[in-house]
Amino acid sequence: MDWNKNRLWIGLVALAAMVGLTIWAFYSRTGDTPAEDQALPTLPEVNRDAITQLEIRRPLPRADDHAPIEHEVVRLVKRDDHWFLSAPVQAPAAQTAIDSALDIVDGLDVTSLAARNRQFHEQLEVDDDHGVRVTVRAGDRNVIDFWLGSYRGGATMLRLQGHDEVLGVRGPNNQGSIKYAFNKAARDWRDRVITDVDPAHIADITFVDTHGTFHFHKNENTWAEVVAEGGTPIERFDASKVSSIVSSLARLRASDFAAADVDAARAGVGEGAATVTLQVSENDAQRTLRLIVGNEVDAERHDRYVKVEGNDTIFIVSRYLGDRMVPDAAAFQQSDTPPPTPPPGGPEGMPGMPGGGGGELPPEIMEQIRRQLQQQQQHP
């Protein structure tokens, strides 16, 4: 045999054998053997509009690899066309988070059979310890009950409760891992809206805090200071500063919520707390919206507790927003120094973005960013 003439064919045969061994090894690790004529399993039919309850059981982060795995159960219920958390706390739910979860449940698409045997459940993170269990109910009836695991080969691993088979699934629009939509702490399911008013409908605002009382009224489209009898007007008053603060407070969002053991007294939102009073004119009707501004949450972050009069929920807002709610006179004065110049390159210089030299963001992170932008568009 002339080896020099046939070495190309010999190399191709060897390469084909290596590819075959690689495929066999992959499916052996997942417990599956590919079969071209094998029909993929199907999932139960889901009617999105009939869903009345979601229950999510998820593993909590561990302090170290030797610590026992603990779990959190979040229960969401639909009442009168609105969604609420019923466990571990009772609170209104964020509609965008609910919509994301329901869209996925309603649009699951089975793309592969990843494993057949129970022994691979832990490896694919669909076992009782590592998986995220999602139970969907319509009234008293279970519609679908499944475990979500790792993201492999462009699909999220899913196992139906009581079954050994592990399926590869995709959600609507093939947006990558779908586990992000369910693997959330209870606070991430809660509605973070504190105020939701069109800034143009706010006609009057009053700040009362340790710096004094500052009262402003809008004449047509221009803010003017209302000076109390015997009071001193703000020097170099800048009406645009009032407009900026009003825009921030009209659509106020929480960054978090007070812990269960933090009451009104500890949060500083009781008697004597700083207040911001907004007079809102909508559809020829007027109403008063009063924000109660409490203590800083801690000495490092300087976030603040905030409460809306008539609502028992104690929110937490960022330091920036908290500072805007307890202004001094300088907050309404013309600036002595020009605003800082943006860094060269703008957003392109950020890691992980075009021009920034960073790697591509994982699909589940990109989807979270997309959902947050969507929420901001719905509640600017």
Residues of the chain above pLDDT 90, percent: 70
- 268 within some domain: yes
pLDDT (0 to 100) of residue 174: 75
Do residue 181 and residue 203 come from a single domain? no
Do residue 165 and residue 250 come from a single domain? no
- 362 within some domain: no
Predicted confidence (pLDDT) per residue in 255-267, tens digit = 999 999 999 999 9
pLDDT (0 to 100) of residue 283: 84
- Which residue in 168, 166, 101, 170 sits closest to 127, CA to CA? 166
- 55 within some domain: yes
- Compute CA 64 distance to the chain's CA centroid, rounded to the nearest angstrom: 26
Do residue 318 and residue 208 come from a single domain? yes
Predicted confidence (pLDDT) per residue in 136-171, tens digit = 999 999 999 999 999 999 999 999 999 999 999 999
295: CATH: 2.60.40
Strands (E), 12-107: 53-59, 71-79, 82-87, 91-92
In the chain, the number of structural domains is: 2
pLDDT (0 to 100) of residue 380: 44
Q: Which of 137, 167, 189 is the last residue of a domain?
A: 189
pLDDT (0 to 100) of residue 16: 62
Do residue 113 and residue 74 come from a single domain? yes
Could you tell me which residues come within 8 angstroms of residue 14 by beta carbon, excluding any fewer than 6 positions away?
A: none
pLDDT (0 to 100) of residue 354: 40
- 4 within some domain: no
Q: Which of 295, 316, 332 is the last residue of a domain?
A: 332
pLDDT (0 to 100) of residue 218: 96
Do residue 212 and residue 242 come from a single domain? yes
Residues of the chain with pLDDT under 50: 3, 28, 33-35, 345-360, 376, 378-380
pLDDT (0 to 100) of residue 202: 97
- Which residue in 134, 116, 174, 165 sits closest to 46, CA to CA? 134
- 149 within some domain: yes
Do residue 68 and residue 87 come from a single domain? yes
Q: Which of 292, 307, 332 is the last residue of a domain?
A: 332
pLDDT (0 to 100) of residue 369: 59
Note down the domain range covering 213: 199-332
Q: How far apart are CA 75 and CA 58, in angstroms?
A: 12
